[in-house]
Amino acid sequence: GPCADQRTLKILSWNVNGLRPTAAKFGGLSKLLEVLDADVICIQEHKLRKCDLTSDLALADGWESFFAFNRGNQGYSGVATFCKHSKTMPVYAEEGLCGVLNLQPAERSQALKDSIWTGSSYTVEDLMAIDREGRVVITDHGSFVLFNMYGVAITGEDENYERRTLKMALCKTLEARVMAYLQQGRRVLVVGDLNISPRPLDTCQVLQDVDEWMSSRPRQWLYRLSHDGPCGGGPFVDTFRMFHPTRSAAFTCWSTATGGRVNNYGTRLDLLLAAG
């Protein structure tokens, strides 16, 4: 009925692997947002530098957009959250997790002292490095706080130590921000391509050693924070598994090199986690 419609908010998350070509396939950004038919649309891997962002990729009638950009020289990574004016407009938005990215150099040290990072081992340089690749946008919608996140991908066993360290640093700073909101009694949603496949059910891989696969640091981090994970007791609920606890072959990522999507040979890396 009308009351139910007023209380319903549709949030969609999609790794578009390039916003410009994806929007072009749909006939432009406005058409893309219309076809996706949601009230909040979280995209990952827009692959745009700030200097490359043009109005046709940021502005659409009836929508507000919030971007995070890779600070490097390449168009890589990047997330954006689009909010429909008629349904939900955030009262606050932030690029990154750490709160120092857009401050002047002279302001960063004081901001560190006045933040949740006080007493931690993080330096200003550490926090800048965590947010430099444009992996998170936070929007506060009053009744809930939304984290749109693109996690670090580890593409092989030989991936270097630096990337693995960044992946866990991103996870831990996300945890700190989420916990701070939960302690205030807020509701939190974390959505996006986290690049973590939670369970054996979520991958097409034939696992020779399930225990070893589940023991990876990112999965152990996710299990510890999950209400329904192997560790139990955490604040997060994997909303897909709440509604589809035994569904298999529900993948969100496929190898383009092997054409894995044709035969649905993939992995579920995109998650919608709720807490509070």
pLDDT tens track for 114-153: 889 988 889 999 999 999 999 999 999 999 999 999 999 9
| Average pLDDT, integer, range 203-222 | 94
- What is the chain's mean pLDDT, rounded? 93
d(CA 275, CA 186): 9
Q: In sequence order, which residues have a C-beta less than 8 Å from that of residue 117 and are 6 or more positions away?
A: 98, 127, 176
For residue 159, the model assigns a pLDDT of 67
Phi, psi of 119, rounded to the nearest 5 degrees: 85, -5
Residue 12, pLDDT above cutoff 90? yes
For residue 158, the model assigns a pLDDT of 56
Residue 253, pLDDT above cutoff 50? yes
Q: In sequence order, which residues have a C-beta less than 8 Å from that of residue 178 and are 6 or more positions away?
A: 147, 188, 190, 235, 275
For residue 50, the model assigns a pLDDT of 94
Residue 273, pLDDT above cutoff 80? yes
> Which of residues 257 and 89 earns the better pLDDT score?
89
For residue 232, the model assigns a pLDDT of 73
**How many helices (DSSP H) and strands (DSSP E) are in the chain?**
10, 12
**Contacts of 240-243 spanning 24+ positions with Cβ under 8 A:** 240/268, 240/271, 240/272, 241/198, 241/199
Residues of the chain above pLDDT 90, percent: 82
Phi-psi region of 153 (alpha: psi -120 to 50; beta: other; left: phi over 0): beta
Residue 38, pLDDT above cutoff 90? yes
Phi-psi region of 69 (alpha: psi -120 to 50; beta: other; left: phi over 0): beta
Give 71's pLDDT tier (boundaries 50, 70, 90). very high
For residue 106, the model assigns a pLDDT of 87
Give 3's pLDDT tier (boundaries 50, 70, 90). very low
d(CA 24, CA 186): 38
Give 76's pLDDT tier (boundaries 50, 70, 90). confident
Q: How many CA atoms lie within 13 A of 155 on its CB side?
A: 2
Q: Which helix (H) or strand (E) holds 66?
A: strand 63-68
**Residue type for position 221:** W
Residue 242, pLDDT above cutoff 50? yes
| Average pLDDT, integer, range 154-165 | 80
Phi, psi of 67, rounded to the nearest 5 degrees: -115, 150
d(CA 135, CA 146): 14
CA 235 and chain centroid, separation: 17
Q: In sequence order, which residues have a C-beta less than 8 Å from that of residue 94 and are 6 or more positions away?
A: 137, 138, 139
